[in-house]
């Protein structure tokens, strides 16, 4: 069937293709569902997420811009665009022929107002390409003002996994990372396994592969325009401390994020543009 505009629980674009399901909310240009026909959901979404205009959504693919993390005192975590209402600019639907849907949203300073954390003019685009084989995401930032701008950004992707304690992540062997849990900089040795609270910012531009023996599948996460890969799972105590995160939900998710943060922040001169891309494929 063709896509439809939905309003429950929030306004956005939604489509069903066989047993598959695609969904994007205009709130934050937030991709919340990617489930190819015949597959288990690829994206994780918390059952406790607050679907409220003034709150970010827990799960899916939050758009992070123009800072990663807490920002300055009083700033919303991960930037102001997560709770902004984006404008649906375009859709292309070939669902009945090949199961594909392209959705594009835009946002600019005229829509969000002047923000202390980014007082200069910009235009952002979020493009989501849903296919039976992969989900392709592009976050494009344009400097439309007269001043140089520097920003951080990320596609804060929550992947659904069978049991995060059984998952292995390859592709980051030898990469240095900042461990936000310990405050130390280390070098990855071998594959990643999740054995406790994990919050790491890797310096890596390469592909990452998530091996999930419980769901019996492999996810390949490729990216471009990204200096960093973030790997995150809250584990037991942090999950319990978050009101929009179920106490036991941490076992079913793992964030693998394409990012530009810390030393990887992006600087654009007037008229310049940057694209951050992520491609999540079932192998």
Active site residue 156: yes
Pair 191, 175: CB distance under 8 Å: no
Name the catalytic one among 156, 166, 211, 274: 156
Active site residue 257: yes
Pair 208, 269: CB distance under 8 Å: no
Name the catalytic one among 140, 257, 272, 274: 257
Alpha-carbon radius of gyration of the chain: 18
How far apart CA 185 and CA 180 sit, in angstroms, is: 9
- The encoded tokens of residue 186 equal 């280390």
Calculate the CA dihedral of residues 282, 214, 226, 281 and round it to 10 degrees: 0
How far apart CA 31 and CA 193 sit, in angstroms, is: 26
Establish how many alpha carbons lie within 13 A of residue 259's alpha carbon, considering only the half-sphere containing its beta carbon.
Answer: 29
CB atoms within 10 A of CB 156: 23
Alpha helices in the chain (DSSP H): 95-98, 109-112, 235-241
Mark residue 262 as left, alpha or beta (left: phi above 0; alpha: psi -120 to 50; beta: remaining): left
How far apart CA 85 and CA 80 sit, in angstroms, is: 10
Residues that are catalytic: 156, 257
């Amino acid at each position: 069937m063709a896509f439809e505009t939905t309003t429950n629980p929030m306004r956005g674009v939604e489509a069903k293709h066989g047993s598959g399901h695609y969904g994007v909310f205009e709130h934050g240009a937030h991709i919340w569902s990617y489930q190819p026909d015949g597959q288990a959901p690829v994206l994780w979404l918390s059952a406790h997420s607050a679907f409220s205009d003034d709150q970010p959504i827990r799960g899916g693919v939050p758009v992070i811009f123009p800072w990663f993390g807490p920002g300055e005192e009083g700033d919303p975590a991960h930037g102001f665009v997560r709770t902004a209402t984006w404008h649906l600019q375009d859709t292309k639907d070939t669902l009945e022929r090949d199961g594909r849907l392209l959705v594009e949203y835009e946002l600019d300073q005229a829509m969000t107002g002047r923000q202390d954390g980014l007082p200069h003019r910009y235009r952002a685009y979020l493009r989501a390409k849903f296919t039976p084989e992969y989900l392709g995401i592009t976050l494009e930032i344009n400097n439309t003002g007269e001043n140089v701008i520097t920003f951080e950004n990320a596609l804060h992707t929550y992947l659904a996994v069978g049991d995060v304690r059984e998952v292995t992540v390859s592709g980051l062997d030898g990469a240095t990372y900042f461990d936000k849990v310990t405050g130390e900089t280390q070098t990855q040795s071998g594959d990643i396994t999740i054995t406790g609270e994990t919050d790491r910012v890797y310096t890596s531009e390469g592909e990452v592969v998530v091996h999930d023996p419980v769901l019996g599948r492999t996810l390949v996460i490729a990216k471009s325009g990204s200096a960093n890969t973030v790997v995150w799972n809250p584990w037991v105590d942090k999950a319990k401390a978050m009101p929009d995160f179920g106490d036991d939900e941490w076992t079913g998710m793992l964030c693998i994020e394409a990012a530009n943060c810390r030393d990887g922040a992006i600087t654009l001169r007037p008229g310049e543009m940057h694209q951050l891309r992520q491609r999540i494929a079932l192998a």
